[in-house]
Amino acid sequence: MSDRETFKKELEEKTREVEALIETYLPEESGDQRTILEAMNYSMRAGGKRLRPLFMQEMCCLFTGELLDTVKPFMAAIEMIHTSSLVHDDLPCMDDDMMRRGKASTWAEYGEDIGVLAGDALMMYAVETAAKAFEAAQDGDELARVGRAMGILARKTGVCGMIGGQTVDVELAGGPIPKDKLDFIYRLKTGALIEASMLIGAVLGGAADQDCRIVESLASKLGLAFQIQDDILDVAGDAAATGKPAGSDARNKKTTYVTLEGLDKAKKEVERLSREAAEDLDKLGSNEFLESLIQYLAGREK
């Protein structure tokens, strides 16, 4: 078995473990508000790479050698927030998508009103879930780290993070977007939750402030590379692998890194950012899986 095949097998196994962990935090579908609970779980069970909780897990393990109990609620919470953003992205007032990962999007399945509420509910349930980490803390130091992690989660999700990036994206939709604005959108809309995932894993794992700054830099580069690779796949990807027809960004007159800089430069930028992210990782210690994951994401086909 090749190194790549070995890594992919390990990735599949770790992803299954993350899926199982997240499942334990999903709400019970009961009571008069059962419909919204069903819609939340429908959204969470639609699939996905589960990269953000995986990043959090691996970053914690880099500093501690094990997955701490305080990290587990945050792993579920970050995926709930990510899913919430997808539920809202699909709404008619946003991207108006009726399909998500081969299934009806949440609003298409439950109606636009429940779609709005499901996204809102997942966002709030994520906070409730993350707060369970306080119960898992063993001492005052761990309690302080959980409090710091809660602040990171809120900041990277809100107006200075994911929602801020989404706002600029919505405002500039349908027209040309200058590169500085596109960088801003990518770093916040996509990158902020990746930064939150890795930074929370490091903070809860007891990383020093200097190391946390390196983690944030690493995650920022990885998030930007991830989004640019998405742009590349829209132009050059195999529709059978990506699950969507190539060229949809161009048909929708959407400004991307490829439309601004060209395909070749986009590929070189992904290579540069991924290389620099790997160099940042080397400064923190050895985690072969994380290093392989960075390389895998840079060359992914979907």
β-pairing verdict for 103-104 and 99-100: antiparallel
Which pLDDT does position 4 carry in this prediction?
81
> Is there a contact between 289 and 7 (Cβ–Cβ < 8 Å)?
yes
Q: Answer whether 135's CB lies under 8 Å from 53's CB.
A: no
Q: What is the pLDDT of residue 272?
A: 95
Closest by CA to 83, choosing from 61, 56, 101, 102, is: 101
Average pLDDT over residues 210-239: 89
What is the mean predicted confidence (pLDDT) over 154-161?
A: 97
Q: What is the mean pLDDT of residues 255-279?
A: 94
Share of residues in the chain with pLDDT > 90 (%): 83
Mean pLDDT of the residues in the chain: 92
* Nearest 10 degrees: Cα torsion 153, 91, 29, 75: -20
Cα–Cα distance list, 132 to 105, 126, 143, 219 (Å): 29, 10, 11, 25
Q: Which of the four pLDDT bands, split at 50, 70 and 90, describes residue 22?
A: very high
Residue 99 φ then ψ, to 5° = -125, 145
pLDDT digits (tens, 9 = 90+) for 203-220: 999 999 999 999 999 999
Calpha distance 202→64 (Å, rounded): 9
- Predicted confidence (pLDDT) at residue 135 exceeds the cutoff of 60: yes
Mean pLDDT of 263-287: 94
What fold does the segment set 3-298 form as a domain?
Farnesyl Diphosphate Synthase (1.10.600)
pLDDT digits (tens, 9 = 90+) for 68-116: 999 999 999 999 999 999 999 999 999 899 998 889 999 999 999 999 9
Burial class (CB in 10 A: 0-12, 13-18, 19+), 1: exposed
What average pLDDT score do residues 25-52 get?
Answer: 97
Query: How many secondary structure helices (H) and strands (E) does the chain include?
Result: 17, 2
pTM, 2 dp: 0.94
Per-residue pLDDT at 2 exceeds 50: yes
Residue 100 sits at φ, ψ, to 5 deg, of: -145, 115
Which residue ranges make up each domain of the chain? 3-298
Nearest-angstrom CA–CA distance, 199 and 205: 10
Taking residues 170-196, what's their average pLDDT? 94
**pLDDT above 80 (res 245):** no
Q: What is the pLDDT of residue 297?
A: 84
Band (pLDDT 50/70/90 cuts) for residue 248 is: low
